[in-house]
Amino acid sequence: ATDIDTESMHEHVVVRRGARSGLPIVVAVHSTALGQAIGGCRLAHYPHWRDGLDDALRLSAAMSDKCALAGLPNGGGKSVVALPLGMTLDGASRRAALHDVGDVIAGLTGTYATGPDVGTGPDDMVTIAERTPYAFCRPVGAGGSGDSSEHTAVGVLAALHALCAERFGSSDLSTRSFAVLGLGRVGGHVLRMLADARATLVASDVDDSRRTLAGAAGAAWASPRDCLTADVDVLVPAALGGLLTLHTVPKLRCAAIAGPANNQLDTPATADLLHQRGILWAPDIIVSAGGIIHATAVELHDETSAQATVRVHGIADTLTDILRTARATGSTPADAARSHARQRIRSGHH
């Protein structure tokens, strides 16, 4: 008999046409081996709901590894509201979709908790929490730990210090140049923090109105395409995933990559190509963990925000360990991170 690959198979996946919104709602619980599965709720456009399902499956599996590497007693999950292309939600239809998500989560009886992700924020968590208690990052005034995007950005900066130390021999960011691709909630914070560190910056976003934000940070503006291939020390992917492909990697001119975008590699083989090109890639599952580390420390483990922030800074040590292990064993950082995560999940240790 052929063994089922239990590590790639999800524990529980719900696909439902929302009773209120009529929209495709996907909640994917990848693993609860280490504890409750956690992962944000993504509200995004997809050509077909099946693409939203695919995304939820990939993103939730990555969350299992993210939690394991962050040392959290949690597994991975993700929710997706798959909007048809061109559809926009008004206040009422947005609430309906989020209540639909909340109902699916309520049906999972605590095996999964959600949080903010691309397309959602703290106020949306309040709406979901009207249907289920399992929503992280409601505003502080509403009893949650608040917006996670700044904490995610703090983790990205910690990772950038570690990455620069490994790649360039110094963690001083003021002598380095960065291309920040995507100025959403997390990317905007990252850009500002890099500007505070007096780094040389170029930035881009699909939304041209973000240009003022780039200007305020003293960053040059480029199209997303030019930003991706900019001649900089470090590329910082902070938009949607899948940007590192067999087609784009040959065109890159950076020496290293680290950013908060989830699932940056289109396929695992792209890690080998980056390796061959001598581009040091910091695994996104390590770099992007600041938000979930902070939210769980405050909301589940009663830590203060300051204590949680110390944990977020631990991302630097985790990344340094993985990059050194990769170098010592001749493997890619992606492989080193994945095997470290899987080892923790298998042994039940967080």
For residues 287 and 241, what is the distance between their CA atoms, to the nearest angstrom?
A: 14
The reply to whether 66 belongs to the active site is no
The interface with ligand PHE within residues 207-266 (CB under 6 A) comprises 262
Q: What is the DSSP string of 249-308?
A: GGG---SEE--S-SS-BSSTHHHHHHHHTT-EEPPHHHHTTHHHHHHHHHHTT---HHHH
Distances (CA, A) of 198 to 154, 174, 180, 185: 16, 5, 14, 21
The interface with ligand PHE within residues 173-212 (CB under 6 A) comprises none
Is residue 117 at the binding interface for ligand PHE, with CB under 6 A as the rule?
yes
Complex with ligand PHE: residue 75 or 219, whichever CB lies closer = 75
Residue 332, Ramachandran bin (φ over 0: left; ψ between -120 and 50: alpha; else beta): beta
Q: Considering the complex, what minimum distance in angstroms separates the CB of residue 42 from ligand PHE?
A: 8
- Give, rounded to a whole angstrom, the gap between the first and last alpha carbons of the chain: 32
From 18, 23, 34, 40, residue interacting with ligand PHE (rule: CB under 6 A): 40
Complex with ligand PHE: residue 43 or 227, whichever CB lies closer = 43
The interface region with ligand PHE, picked from 19-27, 38-46, 220-228, 342-350 by CB under 6 A, is 38-46
Is residue 333 at the binding interface for ligand PHE, with CB under 6 A as the rule?
no
Is residue 137 at the binding interface for ligand PHE, with CB under 6 A as the rule?
yes
Q: How many residues bind ligand PHE (CB under 6 A)?
A: 14
As beta bridge partners, residue 29 has: 12, 77
Q: Considering the complex, what minimum distance in angstroms separates the CB of residue 61 from ligand PHE?
A: 12
The interface region with ligand PHE, picked from 11-19, 49-57, 289-297, 340-348 by CB under 6 A, is 289-297
Is residue 103 at the binding interface for ligand PHE, with CB under 6 A as the rule?
no
Is residue 112 at the binding interface for ligand PHE, with CB under 6 A as the rule?
no
Q: Considering the complex, what minimum distance in angstroms separates the CB of residue 306 from ligand PHE?
A: 18
The interface with ligand PHE within residues 140-169 (CB under 6 A) comprises 148
- Selection from 220, 182, 213 nearest residue 199 by Cα: 220
As beta bridge partners, residue 221 has: 203
For residues 233 and 317, what is the distance between their CA atoms, to the nearest angstrom?
A: 21
The interface region with ligand PHE, picked from 23-31, 36-44, 159-167, 232-240 by CB under 6 A, is 36-44
Complex with ligand PHE: residue 190 or 279, whichever CB lies closer = 190
The interface with ligand PHE within residues 42-61 (CB under 6 A) comprises none
Complex with ligand PHE: residue 40 or 283, whichever CB lies closer = 40
Q: Considering the complex, what minimum distance in angstroms separates the CB of residue 322 from ligand PHE?
A: 17
- Selection from 150, 45, 145, 35 nearest residue 88 by Cα: 45
| Active-site position among 66, 78, 311, 340 | 78
- Selection from 316, 311, 347, 341 nearest residue 68 by Cα: 341
By DSSP bridging, strand 177-181 and strand 12-17 are unpaired
As beta bridge partners, residue 24 has: 17
Backbone angles phi, psi at 203, to 5 degrees: -140, 160
Structure token pair of residue 325: 């292990």
Output the residue with the shortest Cβ distance to ligand PHE: 115
Contact by Cβ (8 Å): 219, 190: no
Complex with ligand PHE: residue 137 or 273, whichever CB lies closer = 137
Is residue 295 at the binding interface for ligand PHE, with CB under 6 A as the rule?
yes
Distances (CA, A) of 219 to 122, 169, 196, 236, 252: 28, 24, 12, 13, 20
Is residue 134 at the binding interface for ligand PHE, with CB under 6 A as the rule?
no
Is residue 136 at the binding interface for ligand PHE, with CB under 6 A as the rule?
yes
* Residues in contact with ligand PHE by the rule CB under 6 A: 38-40, 115-117, 136-137, 148, 262, 288, 291-292, 295
Active-site residue numbers? Answer: 78
